[in-house]
Every structure is written in structure tokens, then in C-alpha cells.
């Protein structure tokens, strides 16, 4: 949470008002400003892809001389963020003979967002650490459940 030495303080350097702050340096983007028809929702719902918008400065096009400062502040947080790709569930769905099953549905009990395997049978699902009831099913195959 504190990989960035300033962000976790929750005080944006170019806040529009003195009341603008973000708890732990993070905001729900839709609470900050709405982007109707944005790619983030579409990618999550249709592509099983998490997308974020990183707003790291006050200016869209900072001066070249300021770029090293941005790199120094954001290198470590970027590496920590990339490591988070391994949190959750990932694997393959195959039949009893080991043939991969594409477009199988992976369902997590209590979460209203199913994902589907790729054409080669692999899947990935970001989940916080914990115990989950996972179900995999595909047309013409027997249902399989796993408690992770």
C-alpha cells in the first residue's frame, strides 16, 4: 500500500480544493469523475481484463525535465502493481483425456461475474486471498466444483 512514498498520504499535489483528498491515496474513479462508455467497464465485463487509469501528475504532458522525477516516484509502485497479477485463481479446464475445453464457464459463488476459458482452455480470475467455491462447466461436460 505504501510502495509510493507520497500517494498513500492522500493529498494530491494539484488538488482543485483543499477538501480534495483520497483515503490511502486511492479513489473510486466513478466517484471522482464519470466516463460514460469507457473501456474499463467493457474490458472487465466482456474481456475478463482489469484496466486502470493512472493519474500521476497535474499535467497531461509534463516537461521532459520532470520525467525522471515521475520515474523515481513510480518505478517501485509499478513493479508492486505488476506482481498483483498473481493474486487469485488461474488454471486450465480439460476433459478426462486432457483435451483443453475452450469457452467453459468459471463461476465463483457469491460473485455475480462469470468468466470463460480462452480457446486453449486457460483462465485467470483476480480474487483476494480467501476461500471460494469455484464451479467450472461447459456444454456436454459434467459439472466440477472446487473449494479453494
Tell me: the pLDDT tens digits for 114-124? Answer: 999 999 999 99
Catalytic residues, which ones? 55
Report domain extents, the chain. 7-86, 89-147
Instruction: Answer yes or no: are the C-beta atoms of 132 and 118 closer than 8 Å.
Output: no
pLDDT digits (tens, 9 = 90+) for 98-114: 899 999 999 999 999 99
CATH code of domain 89-147: 2.60.40.1120
| pLDDT given at position 106 | 94
Sign of the dihedral defined by the CA atoms of residues 42, 44, 47, 49, in that order: positive
Is the confidence at residue 9, as pLDDT, over 60?
A: yes
Instruction: Answer yes or no: are the C-beta atoms of 47 and 61 closer than 8 Å.
Output: no
Instruction: Answer yes or no: are the C-beta atoms of 143 and 133 closer than 8 Å.
Output: no
Amino acid at each position: 500500500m505504501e510502495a509510493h512514498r507520497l500517494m498513500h498520504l492522500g493529498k494530491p499535489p494539484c488538488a482543485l480544493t483543499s477538501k480534495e483528498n483520497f483515503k490511502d491515496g486511492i479513489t473510486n474513479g466513478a466517484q471522482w469523475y464519470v466516463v460514460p462508455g469507457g473501456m474499463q467497464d467493457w474490458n472487465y465485463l466482456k474481456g475478463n481484463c482489469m484496466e486502470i487509469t493512472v493519474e500521476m501528475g497535474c499535467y497531461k504532458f509534463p516537461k521532459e525535465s520532470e520525467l525522471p522525477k515521475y520515474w523515481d516516484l513510480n518505478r517501485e509502485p509499478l513493479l508492486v502493481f505488476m506482481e498483483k497479477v498473481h493474486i487469485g485463481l488461474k488454471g486450465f479446464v480439460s476433459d478426462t483425456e486432457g483435451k483443453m475445453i475452450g469457452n467453459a464457464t468459471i463461476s465463483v459463488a457469491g460473485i455475480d461475474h462469470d468468466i470463460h476459458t480462452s480457446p486453449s482452455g486457460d483462465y485467470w480470475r483476480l480474487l483476494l486471498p480467501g476461500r471460494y467455491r469455484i464451479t467450472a462447466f461447459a456444454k456436454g461436460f459434467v459439472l466440477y466444483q472446487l473449494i479453494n
